[in-house]
């Protein structure tokens, strides 16, 4: 965790299984499902690019370890 980093999330498209749990858990509604699909045929989750507060709810909701990385302030 870098103290100077703006809170954000990185979501690896090819690891996402499209379950949408992170979308439902995010209190700021800053994760959306892409209209594109990954190599496994899943619509994957994407960070909208702003508004993340680094709460980690999406990280704990995601059943796919390593897919979501949260960068806190």
List of residues contacting ligand SF4 (CB under 6 A): 9, 11, 16-22, 25-26, 28, 30-31, 45, 52-58, 61-62, 64, 67-68, 70
Q: Are 6 and 51 in contact (CB under 8 A)?
A: no
CB of 10 to ligand SF4, least distance (A): 10
- Phi, psi dihedral angles at 20 (to 5 degrees): 70, 5
Q: Which is nearer to ligand SF4, 41 or 54 (CB)?
A: 54
Query: What CA–CA distance (Å, rounded) separates 28 from 11?
Result: 16
CB of 16 to ligand SF4, least distance (A): 3
Q: How many CB atoms lie within 10 A of CB 9?
A: 22
Q: Which is nearer to ligand SF4, 4 or 21 (CB)?
A: 21
Supply the DSSP symbol for 13.
Answer: G
């Amino acid at each position: 965790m870098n103290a100077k980093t703006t809170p954000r999330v990185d979501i690896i498209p090819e690891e996402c299984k499209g379950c949408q749990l992170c979308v439902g858990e995010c209190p700021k509604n800053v994760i959306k499902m892409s209209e594109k699909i990954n190599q496994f045929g899943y619509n994957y989750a994407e960070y909208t690019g702003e508004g993340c507060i680094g709460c980690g709810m999406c990280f704990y909701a995601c059943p796919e370890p390593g897919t979501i990385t949260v960068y806190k302030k």
